[in-house]
Structure 1
Amino acid sequence: MINHVVLFKLKTYPDAEKKQVLEQFKNMLLGLKDKIEELKYCQVGENYELNAKSFDLALITHFDSIEDLDAYRVHPEHMKVVAFAGEVVADRAAVDFQF
């Protein structure tokens, strides 16, 4: 199995707007589980500190193979989330590893 972990740092927003953006982003990511067959597990967590100096949101996903991860990466539903992320994310980090 492949574990795909992504951390997101949002652009600067006022607190109320940041909460809304985080909720929308989180719901979009979680919604992929029902839309992409290759996605076997999906967990999304917000940093407990709203204005942390580190990352704001973590995504943990599991796939049966690298090929399934590659299919996920180009899936049209995932690309919609990627487009949204492009509007709201200032920085991201990712790692993929076998487990």
Structure 2
Amino acid sequence: MIKHIALWRLNLANGQSKEAAAAIINAAMQAQLGKIPGLLESEAGLNFKSSEKAFDVAIYTVFEDRAALDAYHHHPVHHETRAKVDALVAASCFVDYEC
């Protein structure tokens, strides 16, 4: 099993609130479930703490194996998700690990 976790700082240049942006991101993440083989869990959450060091949103996805994670990045549904959320992300970091 592979867990993929990403932390995002939001780009709110278009005047959206953090809550509205996070809702768009979470809906897009949830919409991937059942449409991408090997994707077992997919969610996003808004950080309720504020700090210079804090990121705004965390995404959490779980995959059957490394091959499923690799396929996810090329899947058309994931590209649809990216089309919805990339403009909302100013900076990111991520980690993938096996458990």
Range of TM-score over shorter length: 0.7 to 0.9
Alignment length (residue pairs): 97
Cα displacement (A) at 1:86: 2.3
Which runs of at least 4 in structure 1 moved beyond 2 Å after TM superposition? 16-19, 83-86
- Specify every segment of 5 or more residues in structure 2 that has no aligned partner in the other structure, as ranges: none
Q: Compared with structure 1, are the counterparts of its residues 41 and 87 closer, same or farther at alpha carbon in structure 2 (3 Å cutoff)?
A: same
- Specify every segment of 5 or more residues in structure 1 that has no aligned partner in the other structure, as ranges: none
TM-score by length of 1: 0.85
TM-score by length of 2: 0.85
Deviations 1:39-98 (A, max 9, x none): 01123211014x553111111111111110011111111011222332111001110001
Deviations 1:14-56 (A, max 9, x none): 4x5332222111111111113212101123211014x553111
Greater helix proportion: 1
The CA RMSD over aligned residues, in Å, is 1.8
Between the aligned residues of both structures, percent identity stands at 29
Matched residues in 1 for 2:27 and 2:86: separation? 16
